[in-house]
Amino acid sequence: MTEKWVQCIRLKEPLVTKPFKIMVGLAGFAMLLGILREVSGLGYVTGLNDGYAWGLFKNWNVTALTALGSGGYAVAVMAWIFNERKFHPIMRTAVLTSLVGYGTGMVALGIDVGRPWNFIHILNPKTWNHHSVLLEVAVCMTAYVILALNFENMPPFLERMHNSGDPKKSEQALKIFHFMQATFPFWIALAFVLPSMHQSSLGSLMFLAGDRVHPLWQTARLPLLYLLMAYILGFACVLLVLILSTYVWKLGWDAAILSRLALVMSWLTLWWLVLQFVDLAYRGVFEMAFAFDRYSIVFLVQTLLLLLPAQALQVESLRSKPGSLFRLTLILVIGGLLYRFTPTSIAFIPLGHYTYFPSVIEILMSVGFTALAVVLFLYAVKRFAILPASRGKIAAEAAIRPFDTL
Amino acid sequence: MDVNRRDVLKVLLGGTAMTAVAASTAHVAKAEPDVVPPLEDAVGLLYDATKCIGCRACMPACANANGLPPDRGTSHGMYMQPEALNSLTKNLIKLYVAPDGHERSFIKQQCMHCVDPACVSGCPMQALHKEKYGVVGWDAHLCIGCRYCQIACPFNIPKFEWYRVNPKIVKCELCRHIVGKTTSQPACTQVCPTHAVIYGNRSDLLAEAHRRIKLRPGYYFEDRVYGETEGGGTQCLILSHVDYSDLGLPKMGPLSNASRVRRVTNIIYQGFLTPVVIYGGLVAIIRDRWKTHLAHVAHERANHDDKGIHA
């Protein structure tokens, strides 16, 4: 049975459930370990070394989670630029996944850097190195979270403020909302430009490493491939979150929205693969993909993990069933994340004899910061009107929704 | 005005076309805008592996001059024996023996002080920077400890103090804290008994290297100096009779990775013109979308007699 999502509802479920407690425990433990890391030095708590200076924190919590957190950006492009208005009801979910993904990614970045107190210099543009791709990533990400993502996530918060029963607060909320309405295009355009810049720059980041990244991954087209992959993973993350939410909280299933999202994601993935293979051929390293060494095998696995689900999702019946859509999207996400992971890990070739595998503490911290994202998501959907619902469900809700235009 | 998908594509294509035109004209104006030539007064080292006897006198001299305790590594605490460059070792002499046992050469590892260094290009805060005489220096008060320099360096030189709360990046800075003050040259060249490693102006060192090659044609590997052009050139130059890549020196073209990144960045950004043009176009599109969206919502509300109030 398919329904039509039209607006957002707040889940009337108890917040503190058993899974929530586990997630809070994991996140809290990671925070404690984070303090331990700050007073001990990176070598004691991680498996990082002079050959593999970047590990799980940068690969998973920053590069991967911000790619998964590109949902707000990707869906917004569909809703606002390509004017597919049916996507508006899932915008709140999408921008929330972005906020929690980027937010916890930046917490992990703060843990990962060795001399975080010197971050203060980022306030002084005189000390900036204008050629540094990493600086661009850092500044753009921070600006995106502070200026754009916070703005995009305001409406549910204002709505709650408006409905608090305090006339003063209610008036304040309306005032802020009017300001938002008046300046809306300027912020949303920022929410497109900034992530385009830093998601492509995450690719340029590894371009500087030159021959230290295996030729199957190293290319001048890294910025484009990384940017497109951010779209793909962003769509995928929103899909997975929505499918899980509809399953757990019985929200009803809007086949039109989800199947359309999956189709766009599938086409993007196929184009992405074409682009990648054209680039391989253009650089004359095509045969390396079939050398069947360690790199070639990882590359082929990555390609299959992307190609097979993308091809399957072209089939309407597989797209419209929650079970198959969930499984196929999950496989595609694994393939996409493998691509984002590889240049800094498996395909990274330091000179000399170095190996890296994350330590137990490192894994616990990384999992914990991911759990923090889940905790924030669960808190938000049970306190604010975020998740999409059909007209019937909304009528059952008595709350006034003055801001459902966003 | 209602903007449809075609208009969007027009704006996006327009932006792309503009940047493409700008890119091509920029290309015509300056053929090689990104290539950095070496400074005229650039200093460096010339290490001639065929003169090195492997005494390793340069290693404790380096450690002493830089206030580093000896890395006893694998020697069971007896003497200085680092396995690789690390946070205690800025300079290391290693021996290469070919698998057949016939060919052997020492190799001195330390920062190559690239003409256009990847670490300096990547460092977000100018903590790593080119200073006087082209020496690549590191400033503690600007470094955030991101370790991008370790990812970027093609020679795998910068090392990190993994076991300290206040970690530093450790690498050869050509004794910049003493040269010209208490000494006239770095510690390693000062103590080298065979002058296998010498210090001087890069152009002089390069001339000296070519003189040696000319004296014994066919003796040095491919009759060339490593570092003359590799990766945009390095200020520390190496001579050996053994294949340079066997000595752990990466094969690199004449273009530095830093300049290749600058080139790609310039094509995409056009001196920040691209983001501004796209931002402007997007504001125009979204402003229209926003108006129609509000009208649409008002219409839907009237139809469904919703409880929402107009904001």
Q: Which residues pair with B128 in a beta bridge?
A: B138
CA distance B184 to chain A (A): 31
**Residues within 8 A of A (CB atoms), B 244-273 only:** 248, 250-252, 257-258, 260-262, 264-265, 268
Q: Distance between CA B25 and CA B20 in Å, rounded? A: 9
Higher pLDDT, A395 or A62: A62
* Same domain, residue pair B98 and B241: yes
* A401 inside domain: no
What residue numbers bound the domain in which A53 lies?
5-396
Contact A225, A81 (CB under 8 A): no
The answer to whether position B311 is within a domain reads no
Residue B259 counted as domain residue: no
Which of A4, A40, A56, A83 should be substituted to probe chain B, the one whose Cβ sees the most B Cβ atoms within 10 Å? A83
| Boundaries of domain holding B104 | 43-254
| Shared-domain flag, residues B188 and B67 | yes
**Cα distance from A359 to chain B (closest Cα, Å)?**
14
Closest B-chain CA to A48: B162
Question: Which chain B residues have a beta carbon less than 8 Å from that of A43?
Answer: 162-163
Residues of A whose CB is below 8 A from B309: 400, 402
Q: Do B247 and B152 share a structural domain? A: yes
The number of helix segments (H) and strand segments (E) in chain B equals 8, 9
For residues B227 and B278, state if they share a domain: no
pLDDT of residue A6: 82
Which CATH number covers residue A14? 1.20.1630.10
| Spatial contact of A185 and B290, defined as CB atoms under 8 Å apart | yes
What pLDDT band is residue A33 in, cutting at 50, 70 and 90?
very high
Are residues B126 and A186, on separate chains, in Cβ contact within 8 Å?
no
Are B16 and B138 contained in the same domain? no
CB contacts of B165 in chain A (<8 Å) are 38-41
Task: Residue B220: give its domain's CATH number.
Answer: 3.30.70.20
The whole-number average pLDDT for the span B274-301 is: 89
Minimal Cβ distance to B160: which of A50, A181, A403: A50
**What residues in A contact B87, CB-CB < 8 Å?**
50
pLDDT at B6: 56
* Band (B1; pLDDT cuts 50, 70, 90): very low
pLDDT at position B21 is 46
Let me know if residue A89 belongs to a domain.
Answer: yes
Residue A1: what pLDDT? Answer: 61
Which positions in chain A touch B284 (Cβ < 8 Å)? 185
Mean pLDDT value of segment A183-193:
92
CA-CA distance, B240 to B34, in Å (whole number)? 30
Give the integer Cα–Cα distance in Å for B150 and A395.
58
pLDDT of residue A164: 83
Nearest to B289 among A83, A119, A220 (CB): A83
In what side-by-side order are the strands of the sheet with B197-201?
Answer: B197-201, B43-48, B237-239
Of chain B, the percentage scoring pLDDT greater than 90 comes to 72
Are B289 and A352 inside 8 Å of each other by CB?
A: no
Of B3, B287, B296, the CB nearest to A185: B287
CA distance A104 to chain B (A): 17
> What pLDDT, on a 0 to 100 scale, did the predictor assign at position B300?
75
Mean pLDDT value across chain A: 91
> Is B80 found in the same domain as B228?
yes
Per-residue pLDDT, A401: 61
Residue A402 lies in a domain: no
Compute the nearest-CA separation of B208 from chain A (Å): 29
Mean pLDDT within A299-306? 97
Which pLDDT band, with edges at 50, 70 and 90, does A380 fall under?
Answer: very high
Dihedral sign computed on CA atoms, order B24, B30, B31, B32: negative
Looking at the structure, do residues B25 and B164 belong to the same domain, yes or no? no
Assess contact for A23 and A371: CB atoms under 8 A: yes
- Per-residue pLDDT, averaged over A139-156, amounts to 92
Task: Please report the pLDDT score of residue B295 as a whole number.
Answer: 86
CB atoms A184 and B260 under 8 Å: no
Give the pLDDT of residue B27: 43
Answer yes or no: is pLDDT of B32 > 80. no
Residues β-bridged to residue B170? B159
In a domain, B193, yes or no: yes
Chain B 14-73, CB below 8 Å of chain A: which residues? none
* CB burial of residue A179 (10 Å; 0-12, 13-18, 19+): exposed
A12: pLDDT confidence band, cut at 50, 70 and 90? confident
Average pLDDT over residues B273-289: 93
Which whole number is the average pLDDT over A82-101? 92
pLDDT at A285 over 60: yes
Token look-up 């360096």 returns B153
Prediction ipTM score: 0.91
Percentages (nearest 5) of helix, strand, coil residues in chain A: 75, 5, 25
Check whether residue B234 and residue B286 sit in a common domain: no
What would the two tokens of residue B300 be? 């839907």
Q: Do B8 and A186 touch (CB under 8 A)?
A: no
Judged against a pLDDT cut of 50, whether residue A60 lies above it is answered with yes
- Of A170-184, A326-340, B90-104, B208-222, where does mean pLDDT reach its minimum? A170-184
Domain-embedded: residue A406: no
B142 and A127 within 8 Å at the Cβ level: the answer is: yes
Give the tens place of pLDDT for each residue, B122-137.
999 999 999 999 999 9
Q: Quick one: pLDDT at residue A397?
A: 53
Same-domain status, B70 and B181: yes
The partner residue sitting opposite B162, judged by closest CB among A48, A83, A190, is: A48
Give the residue from A382, A377, A367 showing the smallest Cα distance to A27.
A367
pLDDT greater than 70 at residue B307:
no
Q: Is residue B176 part of a domain?
A: yes
Could you tell me if B233 and B268 lie in one domain?
no
Q: Find the CB nearest B167 among A114, A352, A391.
A: A114
The whole-angstrom separation of Cα A313 and Cα B299 is: 35
Q: How confident is the model at residue B208 (pLDDT cuts 50, 70, 90)?
A: very high
Residue B38 lies in a domain: no
**Contact between A131 and B121 using a beta-carbon 8 Å cutoff:** yes
- Tell me the average pLDDT across B112-121: 96
Q: Which are the contacts of B291, defined by CB distance < 8 A and separation ≥ 6?
A: none
pLDDT of residue B36: 87
Number of domains composing chain B: 2
Do B101 and B199 share a structural domain?
A: yes
Q: Please name the residues between 143 and 162 in chain B that touch chain A, using a CB distance below 8 Å.
A: 143-148, 150-152, 154-156, 159-162
What does the pLDDT look like over B178-206, one tens digit per residue? 999 999 999 999 999 999 999 999 999 99
Q: Is residue B273 part of a domain?
A: yes
Per-residue pLDDT band at B2 (split at 50, 70, 90): very low
Fill in the DSSP letter of residue B152.
H
pLDDT class of A13 with cuts at 50, 70, 90? confident
Whether B107 is in a domain gets the answer yes
Q: Which of B118, B125, B262 sits opposite A129 (nearest CB)?
A: B125
Q: For residue range B34-93, what is the model confidence (pLDDT) as tens digits? A: 788 999 999 999 999 999 999 999 999 999 999 999 898 877 878 888 989 999 999 999
By Cβ distance, the residue of B124, B156, B304 closest to A351 is B156
Q: Which amino acid, one-letter code, is at B174? A: L
- For residues A380 and A96, the answer to whether their CB atoms sit within 8 Å is yes
Contacts of A344 in chain B (CB under 8 A): 151
Our measurement of the distance from residue A297's CA atom to the centroid of its chain's CA atoms, rounded to an integer in Å, reads 27
Residue A398 pLDDT: 43
In a domain, A191, yes or no: yes
* Banded pLDDT at B10 (limits 50, 70, 90): low
Classify residue B4 by burial, with Cβ atoms within 10 Å: 0-12, 13-18, 19+.
Answer: exposed
Looking at chain A, which residue has its C-alpha nearest residue B144? A115
Chain A contact set for B4 (CB, 8 A): 83
Query: pLDDT tens across B253-269, in order?
Result: 999 999 999 999 988 88
Same domain, B60 and B206: yes
What integer pLDDT is reported at residue B12 of this predicted model?
A: 53
Q: Based on the structure, what is the number of domains in chain A? A: 1
How far, in Å, CA of A279 to CA of A225, rounded? 10
Which residues 220-239 on chain B approach chain A with CB closer than 8 angstroms?
Answer: 231
